[in-house]
Amino acid sequence: MRAGVSPRYGEKRRVDGREKIGLFGGSFDPIHTGHLILAESARSWIGLERIIFLPTAIPPHKNHTGMTSYEVRARMVELAIEDNPNFELSTLEGQWRVSYTYETVLHFKDEGYGKEQVHLLIGSDTLGEIHSWKNPELIFSHATIVVLMRPGYEKLPILPDGAAVVMIETGSNSISATEIRKRVSEKRSIRYLVPGSVERFIQEHSLYSHPA
């Protein structure tokens, strides 16, 4: 097993008096049950007190042309997590500019959270791209990386010495926002792929009615 990678991180919920938190960023266009399953799996497996969902206004590694407005995506996140007291929405990355993960991590560092308290949740498909992100060394220095294993991306890349990484295999799924948008545009059911409140919101606002 690679140094720094653990199959189970433990249930201690406080480090030096501060809560352990998870940061879960993404475009969430739309948020779906796969996101929620992964977040709850990470929360319970690692012993996090809060999972903070951070919809990004303009993701740096995605073509944002045609992306649903930030306000709408944030509202869908709000609806999806409203029944879980351990989940919360943050609009920290809501400024209409490119959002960089290292800035978010440093924000929580400035709030007094250390590496053992801040846990960055990313998919194993994304981990292979993290070296191309802006200032990845700051991410590895100030956050514990929680890798949510996804089908087809089981092989992890070589990581820097000293990187704190936790692998979560439970809750793995292949639900994708792209497939959900496609289903809506084809007038097919998305029931159980998104929470009922999100499905109703999509229907009421005629989201994704036309192919991207």
Q: Is residue 202 part of a domain?
A: no
Give how far Cα 168 sits from Cα of 1, 54, 55, 128, 148, Å.
14, 20, 22, 16, 5
Return the structure tokens found at 181: 């948008």
Q: What's the whole-number mean pLDDT along residues 149-174? A: 81
Q: Is residue 84 part of a domain?
A: yes
CA–CA gap between residue 168 and residue 123 (Å, rounded): 10
What's the first-to-final CA gap in the chain, in angstroms?
A: 42
Three-class DSSP category at 66 = coil
Q: Report the alpha-carbon angle 90-66-175, nearest 5.
A: 65
Number of domains observed in the structure of the chain: 1
Bigger pLDDT: 207 vs 157 = 207
The 10 Å Cβ neighbour count of residue 192 is 11
**Structure confidence at residue 1 as a pLDDT band (50, 70, 90):** very low
Angle, nearest 10°, between helix axes 70-81 and 33-46?
60
CATH number at 161 reads: 3.40.50.620
Bigger pLDDT: 121 vs 154 = 121
DSSP 14: E
Cα Rg for the chain, rounded, in angstroms? 17
Q: Is residue 209 part of a domain?
A: no
Give the pLDDT score at 40.
95
Most confident of 13-22, 97-106, 162-171, 178-187: 178-187
What is the tens place of the pLDDT at every residue in 162-171?
A: 899 998 887 6
Give the pLDDT score at 153.
74
CA trace torsion 115, 128, 42, 26 (10° rounding): 90
Residue 30: is the preceding peptide bond cis (ω within 30°)? Answer: yes
Q: Are strands 5-6 and 165-168 parallel, antiparallel or unpaired?
A: parallel
Return the structure tokens found at 207: 């989201």
* pLDDT of 10 over the 60 cut: no
What is the tens place of the pLDDT at every residue in 98-131?
A: 889 999 999 999 999 999 999 999 988 888 888 8
**Structure confidence at residue 66 as a pLDDT band (50, 70, 90):** confident
Give the pLDDT score at 62.
66
Q: Is residue 194 part of a domain?
A: no
Q: What's the whole-number mean pLDDT along residues 66-95? A: 95
Q: Is residue 97 part of a domain?
A: yes
Lowest mean pLDDT among 61-65, 176-180, 187-191: 61-65
> Taking the CA of residue 131 as centre, how many other CA atoms within 13 Å lie in the half-sphere pointing to its CB?
7
Q: Is residue 14 part of a domain?
A: no
Give the pLDDT score at 17.
74
Contact 150, 127 (CB under 8 A): no
**Domain extent at residue 80:** 22-171
Q: Is residue 189 part of a domain?
A: no
Q: Is residue 13 part of a domain?
A: no
Bigger pLDDT: 40 vs 16 = 40
Global confidence as pTM:
0.89
* pLDDT of 151 over the 80 cut: no
Give the pLDDT score at 12.
63
Give how far Cα 197 sits from Cα of 37, 41, 191, 192, 193, Å.
16, 21, 11, 11, 12
